[in-house]
Amino acid sequence: MALSEPVRAVRRLGSTAQIGAIVMGEQAIDTYLDGYGRADDRAIALDILLRDLARLRCLEPDLDGFIGEVERYIDLLYEDLARRAA
């Protein structure tokens, strides 16, 4: 099973010490989510991203901090979905 495009971007960005890398990682996630219009579909897509990020964490333990930042962003996206559903 291959990693999704945004997770490959996180892997690439996390491997560099580039300023603004986290913002570019967040943008990759936002672009990925643009393909999912319904809230249920977006929630499933976020679940898939979290699963793939967990796999990436096993493959690239040095990226743990960067992956954690991306996961916090995904948490914010989940909160936004919950607010909109209420």
DSSP assignment of 24-63: HHHHHHHHHHTT--SHHHHHHHHHHHHHHHHHHHHH-GGG
40: tokens are: 């249920």
What would the pLDDT profile of 43-76 be if each residue is shown by its tens digit?
999 999 999 999 999 999 999 999 999 999 999 9
CA atoms of 19 and 58, how far apart (whole Å): 24
The set of residues, in sequence order, having a beta carbon less than 8 Å from that of 35 and lying 6+ positions away, is 45
Q: What pLDDT does 4 receive?
A: 82
pLDDT at position 28 over 70: yes
Whole-number average pLDDT of the chain: 91
Q: What pLDDT does 17 receive?
A: 74
The set of residues, in sequence order, having a beta carbon less than 8 Å from that of 69 and lying 6+ positions away, is 22, 25
Domains in the chain: boundaries: 30-86
Q: What pLDDT does 2 receive?
A: 54
